[in-house]
Structure 1
Amino acid sequence: MIDPAVSSRRDTPWIGDDPRFTELRASYRRFVFPVTAAFLLWFLAYVLCSAYARGFMATKVAGNVNVALVFGLLQFVSTFGIALAYGRFAARRLDPLAAALRDVTANRPAAAAGRGTREATEVQA
């Protein structure tokens, strides 16, 4: 079997060389890396406070609700908030670039779409 990645790069431009693909990856990384780091720091703070700041976490906020319970619930809130923010970000920035790249790859000839010349000939016949 012919490896499509190897055979197509010799004859045609690779999708990774397209500036729109580079922009798509860069936009994705600009959102995902900082948000992931912020969430992990927030979670680490929650765990460390639970382990080492027991007095603070036991502080009553209202009735039997303490700081630990509020922080724990805020973990869920921040998770859903990040998911919603990513959905909006992807719809605005990533999806249009991905659609343009999808159109480009769909309109390439068979040999450019990753098939070797022999396989492309067999498909056309």
Structure 2
Amino acid sequence: MTNATPPPMRARSAGQAGKAPVAFGGIDKSAARRGTDKPDFDDIQQSDKFIRLRSRLKRFVFPMTLLFLCWYIGYVVLAAYAHDFMATPLLGNVNVGIVLGIAQFASTVVITTLYVRFADRRIDPQVAEIRNDVEDGTL
């Protein structure tokens, strides 16, 4: 049986017919090393714009998380300890427990939609502004 996979290219010596060494697969990795100027993440993190961005994000995320956790834990507690209430029929075989369970899924979709709208309107423009400041060298 023959080997269907060809062997990897071997690096040639630099002196061979004036050719530069060839990396594995013929890819010159020096091109990836050109941009050695990395942003100063400590300066970015301590900037006023970034602090305002984090504050604005926390003001949305923490209350929304707390609200959802209370809603979820409330549902679990009701399901565990309020059997009669959860079994109360609303419409045919549909009871309070089923409606609240479906509302869990609906609230997840609503919270996700609210977060995406919030991020698009409030967070992303601030992130773009910080990114532009870093690229321009003003931050």
Structure number with larger C-alpha Rg: 2
TM-score normalised by length of structure 2: 0.68
CA distance in 1, matches of 2:121, 2:137: 26
Candidates 22, 35, 38, aligned match of 2:67: 38
Shift of 1:106: 1.6
Larger relative helix fraction:
1
TM-score normalised by length of structure 1: 0.76
Per-residue deviation, residues 69-89 of structure 1 (Å, max 9, x unmatched)? 000000000000000000111
Candidates 95, 104, 123, aligned match of 1:94: 123
Aligned-partner residue type, residue 54 of structure 2: R
Higher relative contact order (CA 8 A, sep 6+): 1
- Unpaired stretches in structure 1, ≥5 consecutive residues: 113-125
Counterpart of 1:85 in structure 2 is 114
Per-residue deviation, residues 67-119 of structure 1 (Å, max 9, x unmatched)? 0000000000000000000011111111110000010112229xx8xxxxxxx
Task: Give the aligned length.
Answer: 102
| Deviates further, 53-62 or 98-107 | 98-107
CA distance in 2, matches of 1:17, 1:107: 18
Give 4+ residue runs of structure 1 displaced > 6 Å after superposition. none
Give the % identical residues: 43
- Unpaired stretches in structure 2, ≥5 consecutive residues: 1-37
Aligned-partner residue type, residue 45 of structure 2: G
Counterpart of 2:93 in structure 1 is 64
Candidates 26, 29, 33, aligned match of 2:55: 26
RMSD between aligned residues = 2.0
Aligned-partner residue type, residue 57 of structure 1: M
